[in-house]
Amino acid sequence: MSRMSRVSQKAFTLVELLVVIAIIGVLVGLLLPAVQAAREAARRTTCQNQLRQLGLACQNYADTNEGFPSSTRNLSNDAVGQPRWGYAVSLLPFMEQANLYDRINPLLSWEEADNLNLLRSTEMTQLKCPSYQPTQRLNYAPSGSTVWEDGPHAIHYIGILGANVTEDPVMPPLLSDCDDPGSPYTMQKEEATGRREPDCFSGGGGFFANNGVITPIQGADFRSIADGTTNTFVIGENAHGDPDRLVNRPWWVGAHVRYSYSAKNVTYPINTAPEGNLRNDVPFGSSHPGGAHFAMADASVQFLSENIEMRTLFYFASRQAAEVIPEF
């Protein structure tokens, strides 16, 4: 007598399947933040390294040229009010980009077609934090012009002109008033003849502070950094992309018609967004949680909390007020 063997088939019930799915969902929910945190930590490390390399480039430039790069370099000796080059252009030979620097025509402004086409063909990823993700292309020119429309070329690491304490009701001026050539709110005007003279103004983009390191026309030298290179800002992160605030422009843009683009005043707390057209006073900040990185004049990099006291930021931004930096 033959027996028919029955093979039992096992299968998941609907309840068991739902339980498995729920467990997988919980595991993914637990792991995803850890993965995201690890990725942000890697991006943050890359950002620190990029700023450190910029700091070293600034030091090498200062050693070679007896001063740090200026925020508004005039390569072509053009008339006042014409487009000027940003600090990053001066650093190209010290960033393994000497070939690009040599191809720039110094007799023309960056708006001229030959220079502009060359610059647009080069995206300097080392000038942008990997955590910074602009959501749209920005219009970089007034009146609807598209001459400056280069979103992929936006610079994230902004030079620091100095401290603008005019918005602080308690902080006294770090130097003197605007009528004094040593004022922190003076832009050095350079005529076509090369002559320099004080040019105080409050129109256009507002004051250009000159008590920092990446100052207009001519950057500071090591001897003028009385507060010490370890305690003085050179470059900071800026993640704001509001077109009205004149920030995150192409890396080669320095200043135009008294608006500063690749360098700003330290005026407001980190990661804040005051209302209005802040122009030269856009707050520094980053896409990193809790604060932003700053390169110091000794090429070190510090991550400062967004809760740091404004007075401490002012101290770091100025180079020669002989302040004692408080603990933070």
Residue by residue, pLDDT tens for the chain (328 residues) are 445 555 555 666 777 778 888 888 888 787 777 777 788 888 999 999 999 999 999 999 999 998 999 887 766 555 444 567 889 999 999 999 999 999 988 777 787 888 888 988 888 889 988 887 654 343 334 434 444 444 678 788 999 988 887 766 656 555 544 545 444 444 444 444 444 444 454 445 667 787 889 987 778 889 989 889 999 999 999 876 555 555 667 888 887 656 788 898 898 899 887 766 677 888 898 889 899 999 999 999 999 999 999 889 988 998 876 665 656 5
Residue 168 lies in a domain: yes
> Does 13 fall in a domain?
no
- Tell me which residue of 57, 55, 49, 129 sits closest to 90, measured CA to CA: 57
Round to whole Å and give the CA distance between 34 and 217: 47
**Looking at the domain assignment, is residue 8 inside a domain?**
no
- Domain count for the chain, please give it: 1
Residue 36 bridge partners (DSSP):
none
Is the pTM for the entire model greater than 0.85? no
- Kindly list the strands in the beta sheet with 259-260, ordered across the sheet, starting from the edge strand earlier in the chain: 84-85, 253-256, 259-260
Query: Rounded CA gap, 118 and 220, in Å?
Result: 29
* Residue at 5 is within a domain: no
Within a domain: 165: yes
| 326 part of a folded domain | no
Structure tokens at 143: 């009146």
Residue 254: closest CA among 182, 158, 164, 116: 158
Cα(158)–Cα(174) distance, integer angstroms: 22
Q: Which domain holds residue 33?
A: 18-139+146-317
Which residues make beta-bridge pairs with 295?
235, 301
Q: Are 105 and 119 in contact (CB under 8 A)?
A: no
